[in-house]
Amino acid sequence: MVKAVVLGAAGGIGQPLALLLKTNPLITELGLFDIVNTPGVAADLSHIATPAKVEGYLPPDDGLAKTLKGADIVVIPAGVPRKPGMTRDDLFKINAGIVRDLATGIATTAPKAFVLVISNPVNSTVPIVAEVFKQHGTFDPKRLFGVTTLDVVRASTFVSEVINDLSKAPEIVVPVVGGHSGVTIVPILSQSSHPVLSLLDGDKLKALTDRIQFGGDEVVKAKDGTGSATLSMAYAGAEFATKVIKALAGEKGLIAPSYVHLDADKEGGAALKKEIGKDLDYFSTNIEIGPNGVERIIPLGKLTDYEKQLIAAAVPELETNIAKGATFQKAPP
């Protein structure tokens, strides 16, 4: 019996994500919340012949609390997306308040739920959720995840394009670490399951790294003012949520990168901080997920000099992004 909830469920990500979750046979209840259109989205999805009972709520009459009641896993894609020329950090002004309010609802109604944050800027919105939970005395770092799966999905796809064999895309695994914006997105191509590094000279390696770091911009540009990645994000979000749900159900050995609080596994977190040379509170890295959430933070391991340079460039920006999120919640403007 698993209840999954999507907050921002009527949006560009929310709708296809809700569709994919509705098709997950492990989910028995699906709660949908948005400030618009959720009754319609829920009615539509409810006709699909899969086990999940679907309910959609709007803000009036305690809709958020009704949606969250009994939730095991809450995925948050609520908030505004980028337009061309914007950075993810430009979204902070609007999305920080949205995420804070939704996190308050979760901390109040479903404090034990696993929380998966998609809303940008992820590097800052995850610390906002953590601070809200701390203020409610319910923060468990093992249960909070920034969703960086789209970077990993992109890395698999782009590597398969480099080797000219898209059929290999589903099986190629490339760790992508750091955070989720521009230079904080660090692909570790030397650890790719397909030995792609040997095919890349310096320029080609830089081009592939840039494409993974700025893949989001490719979509924003192509959508030409109508939004950012939604379908690929829904796919990635459902993939990560499914891993979390499988772990809840007792499956072992589930590993995926996610942007987590490094106290989620104190030993692993300390080893990772040593590797990056900075006492950051949050970082995206491979984690092992278990029935209680983050079971293990897996250190980065052996890196090339180029990858070490990428990490060194990511750390100061991450530090700023983390402080921005944490400070917003401690002392909102």
Binding residue ranges for substrate: 82, 88, 120, 154
The interface partner of residue 118, options being ligand NAD, ligand LMR, none and the CB cut-off 5 to 8 Å by kind, is ligand NAD
Q: Which residues are catalytic?
A: 180
DSSP state of 112: T
* Contact status, residue 162 vs residue 196, Cβ threshold 8 Å: yes
Residue of 216, 257, 269, 325 interacting with ligand LMR (CB under 6 A) = 216
Cβ neighbours of 179 (radius 10 Å): 30
- For residue 282, list its beta bridge partners: 261
Instruction: Specify which residues 145 forms β-bridges with.
Output: 116
Q: Taking contact as CB under 6 A, which single stretch among the options 2-10, 24-32, 65-73, 154-162 is the one that binds ligand NAD? A: 2-10
Q: According to CB under 6 A, which residues from 180 to 209 bind ligand LMR?
A: none
Q: Which residue is nearest to ligand LMR (CB)?
A: 216
Strands 3-7 and 29-33: parallel
Q: Is 86 in the site for ligand NAD (CB under 6 A)?
A: no
Enclosing H/E stretch for 4: strand 3-7
- Pick the stretch among 25-33, 81-89, 192-200, 293-301 that binds ligand LMR (CB under 6 A): 81-89
Stretch that binds ligand NAD, among 8-16, 265-273, 293-301, 317-325 (CB under 6 A): 8-16
**Residue 220 interacting entry, from ligand LMR, ligand NAD, none, C-beta within 5 to 8 Å by type:** ligand LMR
Q: How far is the CB of 193 from ligand LMR (least distance, A)?
A: 22
Q: Which of 3, 22, 88, 100 binds ligand LMR (CB under 6 A)?
A: 88
Q: Which of residues 116-175 bind ligand NAD (CB under 6 A)?
A: 118-120, 122, 147, 150
Whole-angstrom Cα distance, residue 89 to residue 76?
17
Size of the site for ligand LMR (CB under 6 A): 10
Nearer to ligand LMR, 81 or 187 (CB): 81
Reduce the secondary structure of 33-92 to three states and give it as a string. Answer: ECCCCHHHHHHHHCCCCCCCEEEEECCHHHHHHHHHCCCCEEEECCCCCCCCCCCHHHHH
Contact of 82 with 230, CB cutoff 8 Å: no
> What is the footprint of ligand LMR within residues 102-131 (CB under 6 A)?
120
| Contact call for residue 310 and ligand LMR (CB under 6 A) | no
How many CB atoms within 10 Å of residue 173?
17
Query: What is the number of other CB atoms lying within 10 angstroms of the CB of residue 51?
Result: 14
CB of 95 to ligand LMR, least distance (A): 11
Residue-wise burial string across 191-201, b where 16 or more C-beta atoms lie within 10 A, e elsewhere: bbebebeeebe
- Cα angle, residue 216 at apex, residues 210 and 219 outer, rounded to 5°: 115
Binding characters for ligand LMR, 227-246, by CB under 6 A (x = yes): -xx-----------------
Q: Which of 52, 220, 241, 297 binds ligand LMR (CB under 6 A)?
A: 220
Three-class SS state of 251: coil
Q: What tokens does 104 get?
A: 């308050």
Contacts with ligand LMR by CB under 6 A lie at 81-82, 88, 120, 150, 216, 219-220, 228-229
Contacts with ligand NAD by CB under 6 A lie at 7-8, 10-14, 33-36, 77-82, 91, 95, 98, 101-102, 118-120, 122, 147, 150, 180, 227-230, 233
